[in-house]
Amino acid sequence: MAVTGNLSNPEVISVMGMREEVLNPGGLYPSLLFWPVEKKNESSKIRSLSSKEEKALLSRLQEVVFHELSKLSKTDLNQLALFLGTDKPCIPVPLVQQKKLHVKLLKADTLLFKKASVQTDQSENTPLFYNKEWVRLSADQLKKHVQSVVDDYLFNARISLQDKGYWLSRIEKAYENNPFIQLAYSKNDIVDAVEIMNKSSLLAILKYPEDISYWRERVKIVLRPYRTIPKEWRWDLCSHEKKLFPQADSRSIECTCEDCGFSVIYDINEDVLWLPQEVNLFQATKRIATIERQFNNIASQNGAVTKNIECLKDLSRDLTDYHERIETILELQRKLPGTDNVPDHPVVSLYKAMQEIELPEESHDSMLIWMSRVSIPDISILREINRWQKLMKRNLSEELNEVQTGLTQMIKDNQPRPDDTILQIKNYKITRLQLDKINRFIKKEEHKVPVHILVKLLKGEATNKIRGLQYHEEELFGILEHWPEKYITKAIIQLNKQNVIIKEKN
């Protein structure tokens, strides 16, 4: 980490082959590295000091830090210097607003996995500083605080020997090996099935509601640990960016995803991972098996419901013979306006209902899993199984053929005709043929035709203006000759409002 800065009255020392400028006159504080930071809203945490006060505080801190560093091995000292990017071990002391001391020390994880400079700008939510205000501590308190800070820096230094990707890989492997995660992964189909059935409409028609109520209460308890795991973490790490926070006191790393609002703890010595809420594995294994067995017992006492579901599968298979014919009927209905309120043929109604239903293709040893694969938005269809079965025994090919023929004829009868009335004012009518002539004329004209000219043209009055434009030779000339002129004007206005007449060009 190359460190640079520009402070007044600096002593210049060599850092990793580069120049570092620190506020350290005369080399009085060799164990301290002054570290300018830029942090908003920190004015209340800045200690403005006189030269005498400043020297006294810094001398005291230098003495305590030097004493703690002297306890470290040569390997630890080298790792600490490497972590800070300096040619000797030291502890950063934050400076704000040029030369003012911050009342707290800079956290070690602020520098982890970052190519930061001495000008540290922490705009993220991650805290920059330790909680304690070192300038206000007693001698014993300062000693304990510095011990903790040095230990934290040394632990972060050891973590930094490997890159972030290495630790994420270790954490991911430990996550997958976590006993509860392995249990959840192995029981994922059961967990999902329980979640689905707990909200299924089928519960409303099952017998013995008191058993169902008890089962649902047990589900709340049994699934609680599973529900604490975000969806994106089931059952491996999510794909979002993650932050790592070393915890020196427990020799662990906290892995946090801010997008998911979820954190786990990785013990680097034991190579194990801890979830926010650890679970009694024996109890969890027993409970998930119990709620599956309880539901299967409920399902076994509701043979009529499961039989009707099987009947729906039979009906679905029987309908495949009529699939093409019914789709043709539905397409004809879409082409024919005003059929929404016309009752469908019963088999078409059944077909529509079956389109909304999902049924498992294969059986399963667990009724819980099998029924969780059933989706029936409107469970009333199960009460009409007998009616549907009788329907499928009829000569449906002939009936559907009649429906299709009837719809085809209706579409033919509803085809636009030239004499269709498009607009009527009093006893005067404009037909589709007349409207087409008006639109053809407007479309071919390069310029806007004033309404009063169009009125004269439709009325069939060959004024000098109309003759000059040769409009008297147009096919729409005089097509409304029997209309009163004021009605023609009104008709043009109404046709414009109804958007059935082409808008005139500007």
- Reported as a single tens digit per residue, the pLDDT across 445-498 is 877 888 899 999 999 999 999 998 999 899 999 999 999 999 999 999 998 888
Residue 191 has pLDDT above 80, yes or no: yes
Q: What is the pLDDT of residues 72-106, one digit of tens each?
A: 999 999 999 999 998 899 999 988 766 678 889 99
> Residue 332: is it exposed, middle or buried by C-beta count within 10 angstroms (0-12/13-18/19+)?
middle
Tell me the CA end-to-end span of the chain in Å, nearest whole number: 70
Residue 415 has pLDDT above 90, yes or no: no
> Residue 99: is it exposed, middle or buried by C-beta count within 10 angstroms (0-12/13-18/19+)?
middle
Taking the CA of residue 426 as centre, how many other CA atoms within 13 Å lie in the half-sphere pointing to its CB? Answer: 9
Q: Are strands 272-274 and 421-425 parallel, antiparallel or unpaired?
A: unpaired
Q: How many CB atoms lie within 10 A of CB 486?
A: 10
Comparing CA positions, the residue from 102, 94, 32, 23 lying closest to residue 65 is: 32
Residue 426 has pLDDT above 70, yes or no: yes
pLDDT band of 34, cuts 50, 70, 90? confident
Q: What is the pTM of this model?
A: 0.72
Q: How many residues does the chain have?
A: 506
Structural domain boundaries in the chain = 11-159, 164-300, 303-413, 421-497
Phi-psi region of 200 (alpha: psi -120 to 50; beta: other; left: phi over 0): beta
